[in-house]
A and B are shown apart, each in its own frame.
Chain A
Amino acid sequence: MLRRPDFLWVYAIVFIAFLYGPVLLMPLFSLNDGNFATFPLKGFTLRHYSSMAANTSMILALENSLKIAVVVSVVSTGLGIPAALALTRFRLPGSRSIVSFMMLPLVIPSIVMGVALLVIILKFLGIQLSLWTVAAGHILICLPYCMSVLMSRLEGFDPSLEEASRDLGCNAWQTFVRVTLPLAMPGVISSLLMGFIISFDEFVIAFFLTGTENTLPVYLYSQLRFPNKLPGTLALGSLILLVSAVLVVVAEIIRKRGVQSGNPGDL
């Protein structure tokens, strides 16, 4: 029985078009055989993509971004797992305030975190800016996201499963390895992927904290002001969008399957 399209259906379709339309122009023009992002389209080409292979500074920036994103996602998830466990499984006094504090980076403008980190790194600690400082800044903004993914996963299954494991003779560590971690695994994987995506796409903090080496978004930003570099920029942007979208879909599917297999009764 199909519901007849009504106002809200029309609205939803227009909305999706609004949400994706501008972004999808990027891959559209990146495949266009022209040097400007203009209509009418001139013809199909892949030359903007093939020329990227020769762009060494871009490849370097890509390598930097990948390195940072891997480190950041692993460290954030690694710190997030015990913290999420503590906040969901131990009745700690003041845990709500602690969660609020941990979630602060979500509501502080990135520029403030960027300049605050810049000040303490340069003026107080006297450390040189490098990819490491970028990674540190990224951990700060990834941690709240990783924590909320992990916490909702841990809250999503019955704690009595862990109590049953203790009852059957496992100690705390064995229970974690044999029950908690396997059940939380979808959350852990999606936390890793989300941490990776956020770090890989992050620009503002990287812009302030990077030294002589660029990350990919910083490189991209530097290219945006040169009109003659536009087609290459579009091709690069399209690839970044594609990779991010694929990772998001994978992360969501893993989490969904985890929810289904881990606890059928719970949504």
Chain B
Amino acid sequence: MVGYQGAEGLTSAVTTASIERPAERPAGPRSDPAVIRKRLAGFGLLAPALVLMFMMLALPVVALVLMSFWTQSGFELDRSISLENYRQLVAPSDETTWWYGIPFPLAYPVPAILMLKSLAMSLVATIAVIAVSYPMAYFMAFRVTRHKALWIILITIPFWTSYLLRVFSWKIVLGFNGAINSGLKAMGLIEEPLEFLLYNPTAVVITLAHAWVAFAILPIYVSLEKIDRNLLEAASDLGDSRLKRFFRITLPLSAPGTIAASLLVFIPTVGDYVTPALVGGPGGTMIGSLVQDLFLKQNNAPLGAAVSIVMMLIIAVLVLLFLWAIGYGKLRARRS
């Protein structure tokens, strides 16, 4: 089946990466020379890719952390270790900045506000993505009986095509002179273009949801497709109506794929800056926009590094909290 295995590999990799890390017990006694030789050969094959990943992922992140302890003043880069950047992010002030009724008593409130805003926007976009993709994945898993491969290709194409162009297409749709405005005007429904369509957080959320929806369908689809049809028949046989069966069997069994999908969407979107840059306008900026700005425009890479690190940590903590809550929820459901 087209695309199926790739998506499955992806999902399982992501799910194991983020949800469970059971300690692997390798087979065979440790001292057996044949086993040791085989392992050495295995690690030898793995080495080039692993070394490259280490040099290009682990080391740069360490460098980023290190840089976040340096300070930039004008064109001077001070390489002595200090917590100045982090202090700057949380330094209090008597003057409180208000954002949507939330007080930010900070001297430099922009990062904190943008962080909260990005999380909120990503969360809304993620929920929208899951809500929109679940029925589609369900449709593909349970309703499509013929030409399944065609449907999967149809969903896969946007998955692989330019993110930049997918985002840009919304600028054409929502723009001041865009498709909606000019279309409505041509039909004589409006006189003046609707300005509220573009350059605001809603436009960003819609665009994010659209751009990421293809990423979410495949993991959900794979987890639904894997459900043994006999389980559904058994539930019906034991007296469940279709709706009841959905909530008692289908939904819980597709939870791993759905969780993987929501993380696959939530984590990268928090740091996105292409979307805010293209359709966000001044009101739609996100934390990624600030990082990009600090690095490339304000020439304050150390502060940008600190913002990136804090962003990563917050995302990581939230994701872990979320997973813990889900596990906890399941545990509680078991006990009752």
Contacts and interface: CB of A to CB of B under 8 A. Distances in A.
Do any CB atoms of chain A lie under 8 A from CB atoms of chain B in the complex?
yes
A248 B59 contact: no
Interface in B1-48: 1-6, 8-10, 13-14, 16-18, 21-22, 24, 26-28, 38-39, 41-46, 48
Given A90-B45, A111-B292, A248-B157, A22 B173 contact: yes
A60 interface: no
Interface of B is mostly: helix
Contacts of A106: 10, 13-14, 17, 264
A37 B175 contact: yes
Interface residues of B, number: 107
Contacts of A208: 295-296
Given A109-B272, A139-B52, A151-B9, A19 B168 contact: no
Contact of A26 (B10, B24, B169): B169
B182 A252 contact: no
B46 A87 contact: yes
A63 B47 CA distance: 32
Given A15-B132, A143-B49, A203-B162, A92 B39 contact: yes
Contacts of A217: 162, 164
A38 B178 contact: yes
A86 interface: yes
Interface residues of A, number: 105
A99 interface: yes
B273 to A, nearest CB: 6
Interface of A is mostly: helix
Given A92-B43, A93-B26, 17 more contacts: A9-B143, A12-B140, A19-B214, A22-B173, A23-B169, A29-B172, A37-B178, A83-B49, A94-B24, A101-B17, A102-B49, A140-B57, A224-B168, A241-B162, A247-B160, A252-B152, A252-B153
24 contacts: A8-B139, A12-B136, A12-B140, A12-B151, A15-B132, A18-B210, A19-B155, A22-B166, A23-B158, A23-B165, A86-B42, A93-B39, A102-B13, A110-B268, A116-B61, A119-B60, A123-B63, A123-B301, A145-B10, A201-B161, A204-B274, A208-B295, A255-B3, A267-B5
Interface of A: 3, 6, 8-9, 11-12, 15-16, 18-23, 25-26, 29, 36-40, 79-80, 82-83, 85-87, 89-113, 115-120, 123-124, 136-137, 139-140, 143-145, 147-149, 151-153, 155-156, 172, 190, 194, 197-198, 201, 203-204, 208, 217, 220-221, 224, 234, 237, 240-241, 244-245, 247-249, 252-253, 255-256, 259, 267
